[in-house]
Amino acid sequence: MGWEDNVRKVIPYVPGEQPKDKVIKLNTNENPYPPSPGVRDIIDNFNISDMRLYPPPDADILTGAVAERYNLEKEQIFVGVGSDDVISMAFLTFFNSDKPIFFPDITYSFYDVWADVYRIPYETKPLNPDFTINPDDYRGENGGIIFPNPNAPTGVLESVDMIEDIVKSNPGSVVMIDEAYIDFGGKSCLELIDKYENLLVIQTFSKSRSMAGMRIGFAMGSKKLIKYMNDVKFSINSYTMNILTQICGAQAIRDEEYFRNTVDKIISTRERSKIRLRELGFEFTDSMSNFIFAKPTEKPAAFVFEELKKRKIFVRYWNKPIIKDYLRITVGTDEEMDILFSELGAIING
């Protein structure tokens, strides 16, 4: 028996390609616009000597700003190094039953990885043909529930009423709603957290606030849920978020006007892009996110993906059942999208 017999072996999550060459990068749902000017000012004037000190472990600077923005108490906020860190900590904290957790079969592909890492049993629930969730699938006995809203990679938005139905039907387990893309046209289910102690709402600064490189995620829920998460976090590593990130995050969430203007630009480009894609013969869901999940009807998706790559335009493609005919296209600037449409026209009509 060798040492490798005791290694925790998993199939890791595979992120979108991060090309080093100059390309049009529409494959990782990053915001095409920079963070707010207030964030730039903080970075330019940051006292580098402060980096010699440990950061506040409770991230009070940031949790206070998030709480103020969402009209909550600081004890209802948990922050982590990106929403991936937050969700991972939530899996570790709340999904400890022998019963399987539930999530959709077409969804964020990190969920099954975390389940495997933490040895959590799980069942995937098939989406409807239109990629919506069937709430009846989430009524059986389970150890917890998680899904994104809007869903990724489909971009489909579910109603707050439907989410409340699922939460209300599962008082014995924690329900997590991953709202990474909610700012691009959806209604958050945050209004439900005071009504349901078992609901955890998770958001991120990576998409709508242009700060993927700083890694800021947060969860909102009952004080009891948040305390349990902090207890686990402080048992592993108290100092997970550096002081500069905390200060920049607090400023970003205060810069509301810039945030609104940036989100509105992306929404406008997304809706214009739907028109152009339809003209090119694509079929797609009515995305409420900063990406479009689109199916080319004239040429295979894998072919279009490779041809775009040759032209230094990167989109996302999964060679998986059900979604192998689709491309996920991040909404870039108007200029980037115009180049994409021009090249798509050449690929499809050439």
The model's pLDDT over 7-30, given as tens digits with 9 standing for 90+, comes to: 888 888 777 777 777 899 999 999
Cβ atoms within 10 Å of 161's Cβ, excluding its own = 9
Q: Return the domain boundaries, the chain.
A: 16-34+257-349, 37-254
CA dihedral 108, 110, 112, 118 (to 10 degrees): -150
Q: What token pair was written down for 204? A: 């991120």
Diameter over CA atoms, the chain: 61
Rounded CA-CA distance 59/240 in Å is 9
According to the model, what pLDDT value does residue 7 have?
83
CB 264 within 8 A of CB 271: no
Give pLDDT tens digits for 81-117: 999 999 999 999 999 999 999 999 999 999 999 999 9
- Sign of the Cα pseudo-torsion (61, 63, 69, 74, in order): negative
According to the model, what pLDDT value does residue 19 have?
79
Rounded CA-CA distance 16/224 in Å is 35
Give pLDDT tens digits for 196-226: 999 999 999 999 999 999 999 999 999 999 9
- Strands 327-330 and 199-204, by their bridges, are unpaired
Mean pLDDT computed over 311-330: 96
Q: Round the average pLDDT of the chain to a whole number and report it.
A: 96
Which parts of 2-46 fold into alpha helices (H)?
Answer: 37-44
Which parts of 255-333 fold into alpha helices (H)?
Answer: 256-279, 301-310
- Sign of the Cα pseudo-torsion (241, 245, 251, 254, in order): negative
According to the model, what pLDDT value does residue 312 have?
96
Per mean pLDDT, which range of 20-29, 37-46, 276-285 is the poorest?
20-29
According to the model, what pLDDT value does residue 257 have?
98
Rounded CA-CA distance 268/264 in Å is 6
According to the model, what pLDDT value does residue 21 have?
77
Is the confidence at residue 324, as pLDDT, over 80?
yes
According to the model, what pLDDT value does residue 297 have?
95
Cβ atoms within 10 Å of 52's Cβ, excluding its own = 6
> 64 burial class (0-12, 13-18, 19+ CB within 10 angstroms)?
middle
Q: Place 171 in a pLDDT band, splitting at 50, 70 and 90.
A: very high
Is the confidence at residue 230, as pLDDT, over 90?
yes
According to the model, what pLDDT value does residue 85 have?
97
Residue 253: half-sphere exposure toward Cβ, Cα within 13 Å: 23
What is 37-254's CATH number?
A: 3.40.640.10
Give pLDDT tens digits for 57-76: 999 999 999 999 999 999 99
Terminal Cα-to-Cα distance of the chain (whole angstroms):
58
pTM of the model: 0.95
Rounded CA-CA distance 105/123 in Å is 8
Give pLDDT tens digits for 118-141: 999 999 999 999 999 999 999 999
CB neighbour list of residue 246: distance below 8 Å, 6 or more residues apart:
55, 56, 59, 61, 62
| DSSP secondary structure string for all residues of 90-128 | HHHHH--SSSPEEEESSS-TTHHHHHHHTT--EEEEPPP
Q: Place 6 in a pLDDT band, splitting at 50, 70 and 90.
A: confident
CA dihedral 12, 16, 19, 22 (to 10 degrees): -170
According to the model, what pLDDT value does residue 15 have?
78
Q: What token pair was written down for 63? A: 């949790």
Q: Which fold has domain 16-34+257-349?
A: Aspartate Aminotransferase, domain 1 (3.90.1150)
